[in-house]
Structure formats: structure tokens, C-alpha cells
Amino acid sequence: MTEAATALKTTPLHALHVELGARMVPFAGYDMPVQYPLGILKEHQHTREKAGLFDVSHMGQVRLTGVDPAAALETLVPGDIKGLAQGRMRYTLFLNEQGGILDDLMVTNAGDHLFLVVNAACKEQDVAHLREKLAGKAEVELLDDLALMALQGPMAAEVMARFVPEAATMKFMSYLSATFKGVPVILTRSGYTGEDGYEISCDKADAEMIARALLGESEVEAIGLGARDSLRLEAGLCLYGHDIDTTTTPVEGALEWTLPKRRRAEGGFPGYDIIHRQLTEGAARRRVGIQPEGRQPAREHTEIQDANGTVIGEITSGGFGPTAGAPVAMGYVDIANSAVGTSLTLVVRGKPLPARVAATPFVPQRYYRG
């Protein structure tokens, strides 16, 4: 191994990935499985058809406690956290003073605390940000003794019910404290594939037992980061650092649905002035789905031109969608060219590739709403 490789962190499932024949790559400072012997295409299709198990232990799990952690967190994010009922979860964004996105995260009301899941590459800075801004208002604990897995796909519920019967009736974006083969787990009915499924938070020491139990079910295959990316792209979900970052606002990022009425009216979160103005007057550019014609994928940083050949933006995520059976992408275009159906030209390897603005998701989401 090279020096760089030895410096990488590992998850509690690392030995299992290697045993399963995974191809390991560096990702956000961790040595992670990009694919298993099945390959990205089949792993993707398997998740859409049956169930896939993902190791996402590199992500940050954070506990927020205090007198009123919801009120405290609302000073940093535009979501309705005070109105989040116990046992429910919500997607929101850490914003900077310019309305740019510092990270995206899931927030769960776990009763006596808020449970946050943040991106691996941002977790150290998110924790520092929380500790600095919420000093005296909330206690911030990075739960680095926990592992996180995701079980995703149309058969995820059936499989999970064999171990945790009460998981079957959980609604999309809800939380459950449960027992899996005698060990404590936190389940949320959520994920990053557009499919029904769960994220499973557990003690590091129990992760391999749980993973082996789930992989022992005939419907379940181990799925790597490669298929995780193609699944989320087809589902129209943003990848932080690519589709959204500190230079994009929630309005530019087409994430207005994360800005509820009360917060739009009251403000009280970073970048409110800019975001309020963009909500009223519109933003100059917008994130859209993009469907290239033909079969050639258009990758990240591909230049986008309008019908006159003027550069109007670039692709931020792009690849081949195995379920869509076609290349799929998303990127930013000027607002004049952001309507679904607008013809665009992508410059791929110096050649023009016709494309159009497309509605997302590229494949229907299949969440369980009870």
C-alpha cells in the first residue's frame, strides 16, 4: 500500500467489503467499496428490483441536545425544525451568510435530542460550525462510535420485517428505536436511491453482525458507491460538493421545497436576505435535469450552450442511468433556458451533443407513505 492509502480511515465493515471482493477506492478520507464483483450496472438494477445493502458509516452522525435544540438549529438551517414531530425527520441545509450551502443533512426529532446525519467530507467542519454558532445553546456530539448502513429497494421492507417486525409500518421519513437480533438499532425510513428502504444506525461493534444477517437474505446484495451515485442521480437527488455547494443557494439549486412558509416569512437563518430576494424576484440560474440525446453520457463539468451557442452553464452530475436506459444528468442553466423541454447543446469532448431540459426524477420515486 502507498502512504496515501495507509492514511485512509476505514469503516467497521472494511474487512467484510474486502472479503466480498469489493474494489476499494478513497472517498472522503475513507477506503470505501466502489463496486463488488457484481459490477455497478447489476448492483444498480438489483437495488431497483430487490434490495441492496450500502455501508455509509463514513457519514457523520451527530447528537444535538440542550434546552431547545430545535430553536438553536433553526438559526443555521432554513427548515422547519421546531415543527418537526417526535419520531419524524426532514432534509435541510446548513447555509452561510451569502445563502450558499455549507452541507445538506437529515434532521430527526428523537425526543430528548435531535439526531443529524451529515456528509462524510463535511462532518468535521459541520461539527465545528455547530459548536461555534450554538455555543451556550446546544451540546454537539459527533457519534463516531456508530456505524450507518442503508437497506434500499422494493424488497427492503419485507427483509427488514424478518428482523424488526415493527419496521414494516414505519412511514417514509420516520424514526424508530428498535432491536435487531438482540442489539439496539436506530432505523429511519429514508435513503438516497429513490426507493423505499431504511438507514440503520448501530454500534460499530454490531455492524458486521447486522450486515451479515441482511446479506444472508436471498433478496439482498452488497452495493458500492458507484451504484449509489447512479441510483441517486436517476432519483434526481443532489450530491453535495457537485450539484450544490457554497456558491449555490437553495433557490438556484431548485430546493425551494426545503424553505417552508413560516421560515420564508420569519427568516432567522443565514443568507435570509438573499434567499428572500431570490424567492421574490427569481434567481439568475437554476439547477435542472438534463437528458442528453442518444447514448453518450455527459459528465460533470461538461459545458452547456443554448440554441445560439452561448455558454449558459455546466453539468454538475452526469452519467448513464441503468434503469432509465439512457444517459442522465443535472446541471445549472440560466433561468431563460430552464423550462422542461428546452433544447440545449452539450459540448462533449469538443463535439456538440443535443440535449433537453428534463423533469426529475428520471425514474419514479417509490417511497412508503403508509
For binding to other proteins (CB under 8 A), which residues are involved? 34-35, 39-42, 44, 226, 230, 295-297, 299, 319-320, 322, 327, 349
Least gap, CB of 320 to other proteins (angstroms): 4
Residues 270 and 103 sit within 8 Å (Cβ to Cβ): no
Residue 199 DSSP code: E
Least gap, CB of 233 to other proteins (angstroms): 11
Our CB check for other proteins shows the closer of 37 and 165 to be: 37
Our CB check for other proteins shows the closer of 201 and 230 to be: 230
Least gap, CB of 151 to other proteins (angstroms): 22
Our CB check for other proteins shows the closer of 65 and 296 to be: 296
Our CB check for other proteins shows the closer of 246 and 296 to be: 296
Our CB check for other proteins shows the closer of 201 and 323 to be: 323
CA-based torsion, 153, 154, 155, 159: positive or negative: positive
Least gap, CB of 35 to other proteins (angstroms): 7
Our CB check for other proteins shows the closer of 44 and 90 to be: 44
Distance CA 199, CA 118 (A): 13
Our CB check for other proteins shows the closer of 8 and 41 to be: 41
Residue 121 CB-half CA count within 13 A: 11
Our CB check for other proteins shows the closer of 36 and 192 to be: 36
- Give Rg (Cα) of the chain: 21
Least gap, CB of 274 to other proteins (angstroms): 36
Distance CA 265, CA 114 (A): 24
Residues 126 and 94 sit within 8 Å (Cβ to Cβ): yes
Look up residue 308 and give its amino acid: N
Least gap, CB of 77 to other proteins (angstroms): 33
Q: Provide the pairing of β-strand 220-222 with 311-321.
A: unpaired
Strand ranges inside 67-181, DSSP E: 89-95, 101-109, 114-118, 139-142, 146-152, 175-180
Size of the chain, expressed as the number of residues it contains: 370
Distance CA 221, CA 141 (A): 33
Least gap, CB of 304 to other proteins (angstroms): 17
Least gap, CB of 215 to other proteins (angstroms): 22
Distance CA 47, CA 248 (A): 31
Q: What are phi and psi of 129, to 5 degrees?
A: -60, -50
